Structure 1
Amino acid sequence: MSSLKQTPLYPVYAKYGAKTIDFGGWDLPVQFGGIQSEHEAVRERAGLFDVSHMGEFWVTGADAESFLQRMTTNDVSKLATNQAQYSLLCYPSGGVVDDLLVYKLAGDRFMLVVNASNIDKDFAWLKEHAEGGVKLENVSDDTSLLALQGPRAAAILAKLTEAPVGGLKSFHFLPDADIGGVNAMVSRTGYTGEDGFELYVSAKQVVRLWDLLLEAGRDDGLEPVGLGARDTLRFEARLPLYGQELSADISPLEAGLGFFVKLDKGDFIGREALAAQKAQGVPRKLVGIEMIDRGIPRSHYPVYAATDERRIGEVTTGTQSPTFKRNVGLALLDAEYTAPDTELLVEIRGKKLRAKVVPTPFYKRPKG
């Protein structure tokens, strides 16, 4: 008997041809039809992801907003009701506890969406710092999450609802939409670099919603998509993955996420360390690299200076880009080696192969 956790959709994976793997203690589909074809489906048409392993917390009470303002790096006071923001939880050192989404449902009611591997750690961190009129509730087990992503996502979703999903702005949400008879919170967010939606639904209703969406999207070329293409899509768009581009040892500023760190909003955990890092200049920077020699950079491969072969960092994520067929990566390097076109050496299977620093993101969604 497997000790791996399963989402409520696990029983229907086989019907769609899923190959599952152990992903941080969860038995999740790495692919259905193939990573390359699923990646292309999302870039060109639409893909449907089961991301029900993600964690959801309710933060409620009179002091909910001031509590989140103290815990997160972004400015929660700027959120309107039914708006979401990307943010981070930091340690006093400036390292990252987790990256997350903050949803404002009312002045005293918020939802946090955190990474699956960090659910217990994050909840304990928040509880440790909660005081005053704040109530925390972990609703991860009762909440499922589907991501409908790609240029045809809005047209597919519109077939199933009277709710104004097409007019929803990015990082805004409808708290209560009827999608083909299933009640869902519909958010215009995603982790692919494409337009799309994330649908929060009761765990009891998620299989029905999954089937409804795949049926509605059949003529639009909608495909179920696994974690393999989720990773290549987010990577091309330079969206960070906790444990690779972010960690307790990597600050948001080093990861290039300074936009989401509002040092002028007042005090928050990690502010002092991050302010000092900003003032002094970050010691390391996350940059894009492209191989000049033949070889694919992978996570944790060491990177060296081309001039004297001194080790200057490592690859955080790398692959052959499915969209561009180029061997590219993200690497966290000593800041002095991060100017565009700087030549580097990446150690691949014992050989030091030439690469260079290139601009990111590798992929930007076409306008219009």
Structure 2
Amino acid sequence: MMKRYLVLKNGSIYKGNGFGSKKIVHGELVFSTGMTGYQESMTDASYYGQMLVFTYPLIGNYGINRDDMESLHPTVNAIIVKETARLTGNWRSQMTLTRYAEIEDLPGISCIDTRALSKELRSQGSMEAVVVDSLDEKVIHEAFERPLAISSAQMASTNSIYQAPNSGLRVAMLDFGLKDSILRALAKRNVNVIVFPSDTSAEEIMKINPDGLLLSNGPGDPLNISYALPTIKKLEAKLPVLGICMGHQLFALANGAKTYKMKFGHRGFNHSVKDKNQTRTNFTSQNHGYAVEEASLKNTDLEVTQREINDGTVEGLKLKNCPAFSVQYHPDASPGPHDAEYVFDEFIDAMKVNQKAGNK
């Protein structure tokens, strides 16, 4: 096996065995606490350009299949694991994780103490890192001098309008780096979805006569796509709106709130969220490095509906005077848990009520 090294910006070095691509990479290093769902994570556009550490010690044990992808190709810059499974135990498996990394030109490192690495990121925060094949100072310096892989919703967005046809309500989706599982969740509810590039105008979207607007998830800093805020502001006065993850943050910004970069973010499938009335607690799938600043909501028409139990961050918002709301987590529940799928049903109910009221 080829020896490779993960070098952090703070000088920490982790030695491991390389697999997949041999290329040198430079990116932001983050970690996920999910016990399953490695395939969904590697192809989730919310991880676009990031180097992903899996805290679960064995990755690849159920292989790779074609059905559980969130996009056609990996969106992560590199993967770091404790151990890769040599054998797979799932009837749907088509190849091993290491073979997938080779085919997709994805750099990986195994035999890393991911527990120690995750603790370091938890205490010091997400940071830049490089994957190199030598500890030569010149090699490391040149690796850090390479352009940092940019985690950008604009780059992750579609460039053209396309449709996921169905016979039900018509939803316009602004794509900031959507997960295919959102489309699957809506298809299961017979929703007709038209997906638009992130920079589409409100006037262009209204030409399809939609019943509602969905703001998708996506990577990076929401302030980098502030061009979408006027569109959101115009459409929320006309249509029911649901924002998911990045969409939640943009919904907040469009209505006068602020966002901030978290120390190490929420990434995994085990984040507990409680609603405002303390009547319901959900375990949720999350993947974000930014959050809504609650203090900035004071002079807005936004109301907090849900909070993360562990750190109290804002997990849900709604407008007081419009059928528009958002959640920071992923209700599409891919790969799970499925506690929060009801969010899509509430969105559909809001569209039906809006139709009956003659507002469309």
TM-score normalised according to structure 2 size:
0.26
TM-score normalised according to structure 1 size:
0.26
